[in-house]
Amino acid sequence: MKIGSHSLPNRYFLAPMAGVTDRPWRQLCKQLGAGYAVSEMVTSRTDLQSTRKTRLRTDHTGESGVIAVQIVGTDPQAMAVAARLAIDGGAQVVDINMGCPAKKVCHTWAGSALMQDEPLALQIVQAVVQASAPHGVPVTLKMRTGWSNAHRNAVALARRAEEAGVQMLTVHGRTREQGYQGQAEYDTVAAVKAAVRIPVVANGDIDSPQKARAVLQATGADAVMIGRAALGRPWIFREVAHFMATGQLLAPPLVAEVQRLVLAHLHAHYALYGEHTGVRRARKHIGAIVRHLPGGDALRERINAIELSALQWEAVAEFFHALHRRMDRLPAPATYNSQADLETAP
């Protein structure tokens, strides 16, 4: 699996999610088997380029693997500038967001709203490719199947994006109209794969090793991208890799291992965001991991009232220490295909 000149270790990717896939989380998922991880979307608005949020989203200090930055916007030239800034900051791949269904993004006609305006979408692709090509940085595109059930234009847009120089496509199997409701469909993903020569990545409702294999078989896609299921279960990537290689399900992780990983992740989280923001953003990650575990709801309530990182870290350490006395391994995985965790984002 390659993107431009970059070789990837496998074809099981972490999807970009605003408020979730910051550098510490990407690092954790890569450590647990993700072959590729894309940053949270970075705005192309020039008046927001110097904000703290943008600076943190573009911090790649010590990040391993291929560094991919997703940019979002509606103005071709502003998107070209955003691509150059991302490259100056260390991006090795620039990803264009035409898949986000969030109202605050689509309200400005960015994200998946661009699929309604193919000429503008193509202008943005061309501008970003032209800005990135002199640096040898490949451009990728993430989109949906279309704007609505009556307007599924992913295949047409995929062909034009390939002609314009995009080197990989990711297709989420829902329309913008669906948001995250209903079931993802993969026929359109398969149609996109059949229509282009560049790699195609399937995304949407992939929440188990079995589902990853089924989607790869149904679509012929080159890779799968996992989003919401990884939020509470970052080890899903090694589970998928093991199942694809052996046909056997990997045993759930040891409680002691999860404790070590989560506590180390919290330290990385606090180091990036500082005390105030770090504690608040960490609540979402902790809550997602423990929500299906015995005593998880009580811990979620407890940490929501904690304001200091040292106390939050200690509460999590105590929780896993007590859990370890009850069991060696986590229970068999549940299906984490809910929007609830993302909706708790600060």
Active site residues: 100
Take residue 98 and report the two structure tokens written for it: 């035409």
In total, the chain counts a number of residues equal to 346
Give the integer Cα–Cα distance in Å for 20 and 24: 10
Residue 330 φ then ψ, to 5°: -65, 155
Give the integer Cα–Cα distance in Å for 133 and 50: 25
What's the angle, vertex CA 154, arms to CA 150 and CA 158, rounded to 5?
155
Q: Where are the beta strands (DSSP E) in the chain?
A: 2-3, 6-7, 12-14, 36-43, 68-72, 93-98, 139-146, 168-175, 200-203, 223-226
Place of tokens 């103005």: 75
Using DSSP, state whether 142 is helix, strand or coil: strand
Helix, strand and coil percent figures for the chain, each rounded to 5? 50, 15, 35
Take residue 248 and report the two structure tokens written for it: 């056997």
